[in-house]
């Protein structure tokens, strides 16, 4: 069996992706900042010494690097760079030092690196304009990682919003689902007349699987669907499922000035590289989250 190492295996994406790949016959290993166990190695990616031990022990065929700080409102700006930027280069430097060259290394960046482009559909040709430390740390990671393209088989991905069962409740969709599960009568939101991608985590897992199995490398690619879903439609779907109508209150603290009304990613490059990938209707994702 092919060995896959997932950094941040106990993260939202890591839990879903490890289960998905195991069912397909991959031998899945992971790193965790706090836990260790069968095939799970405690590892701080900001410490190169930790990485050298883990990588030398596993010698993975594939690496999917998910470990990092993913919540943009995290209040320690220095940690974004220490973990998201330096942590990633530590992995790449460790591989070179150990003379390991996995078949494929996937580095998860983020669509937030695009910033506010004033466009409704974002493609990989755009010049990144990150507007916060999270996006800037991911863009810095990308810039540094490209220097390893001639040494390692790397693909950099830029995932757009996705959700599913067990996602942390400070993210938007889980927050909405929690309010309905608890039969709350009101919910405070920001800009509600907007359209965004809310993809299913299973769709993202299938894309990661296709990317590690592909022959491509030295590429930067969106993980997206170009499927915009209006936030108001999400509320309507949840009203229908739950059998009551929640009152939406606009909290000025959640309102972002100059927010683009519709924002999705172009799938043109992604589907050219790996072929089209279909996903379930978003109502099915919401139902699964509500019933979990």
Interval 122-134 mean pLDDT: 93
- Looking at the predicted structure, is the pLDDT value of residue 193 above 90? no
Q: What is the DSSP code string of the chain? A: --EEEEETTTSHHHHHHHHHHHHTT-EEEEEESS--BTTEEE--TT-HHHHHHHHHHH--SEEEE--S---TT-S-HHHIIIIIIIHHHHHHHHHHHTT---SEEEEE--GGGG---S-SEE-TTSPP---SHHHHHHHHHHHHHGGGTTTS-EEEEEE--EE-TT--TTSHHHHHHHHHHTT-SEEEES--S-EEE-EEHHHHHHHHHHHHHSS--SEEEEE----EEEHHHHHHHHHHHHTS-PEEEE-GGGPPTT--SEEEE--HHHHHHH-------HHHHHHHHHH-
Q: What is the pTM of this model?
A: 0.94
Specify if 35 maps to a domain.
yes
Interval 238-253 mean pLDDT: 95
Specify if 123 maps to a domain.
yes
Residue 85 is part of a domain; what is its CATH number? 3.40.50.720
Specify if 292 maps to a domain.
no
- Looking at the predicted structure, is the pLDDT value of residue 220 above 70? yes
Q: According to the model, what pLDDT value does residue 132 have?
A: 87
Specify if 58 maps to a domain.
yes
Specify if 244 maps to a domain.
no
Q: According to the model, what pLDDT value does residue 262 have?
A: 82
Q: According to the model, what pLDDT value does residue 72 have?
A: 55
Q: Based on the residue annotation, tell me whether 134 is a catalytic residue of this protein.
A: yes
Decide which of 287 and 132 is more confident: 287
Q: According to the model, what pLDDT value does residue 71 have?
A: 57
Total structural domains within the chain: 1
pLDDT tens for 4-26 read 999 999 999 999 999 999 999 99
Specify if 216 maps to a domain.
yes
Q: Which domain holds residue 92?
A: 3-163+199-226+264-280
The one catalytic residue in 114, 134, 203, 208 is 134
């Amino acid at each position: 069996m092919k060995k896959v190492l997932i950094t941040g295996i106990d993260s939202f994406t890591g839990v879903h992706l490890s289960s998905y790949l195991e069912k397909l016959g991959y031998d899945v290993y992971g790193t965790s900042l706090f836990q260790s166990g069968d095939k799970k190695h405690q590892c701080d990616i900001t410490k190169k010494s930790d990485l050298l031990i883990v990588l030398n022990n596993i010698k993975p065929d594939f690496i999917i690097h998910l470990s990092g700080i993913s919540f943009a409102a995290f209040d320690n700006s220095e940690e974004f760079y220490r973990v998201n930027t330096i942590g990633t280069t530590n992995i790449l430097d460790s591989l070179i030092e150990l003379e390991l060259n996995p078949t494929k290394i996937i580095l998860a960046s983020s669509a937030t690196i695009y910033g506010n482009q004033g466009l409704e559909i974002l493609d990989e040709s755009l010049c990144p304009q990150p507007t916060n430390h999270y996006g800037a740390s991911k863009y810095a990671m990308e810039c540094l990682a490209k220097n390893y393209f001639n040494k390692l088989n790397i693909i950099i991905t830029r995932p757009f919003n996705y959700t599913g069962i067990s996602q942390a409740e400070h993210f938007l969709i889980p927050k909405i689902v929690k309010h309905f599960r608890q039969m709350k009568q009101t919910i405070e939101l920001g800009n509600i007349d907007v359209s965004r991608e809310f993809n299913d985590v299973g769709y993202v897992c299938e894309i990661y699987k296709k990317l590690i199995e592909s022959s491509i490398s030295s590429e930067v690619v969106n993980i997206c669907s170009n499927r915009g879903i209006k936030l108001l439609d999400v509320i309507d779907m949840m009203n229908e499922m739950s059998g009551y109508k929640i009152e939406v209150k606009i909290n000025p603290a959640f309102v972002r000035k100059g927010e683009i009304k519709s924002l999705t990613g172009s799938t043109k490059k992604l589907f050219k590289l790996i072929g089209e990938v279909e996903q379930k209707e978003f109502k099915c994702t919401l139902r699964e989250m509500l019933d979990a």
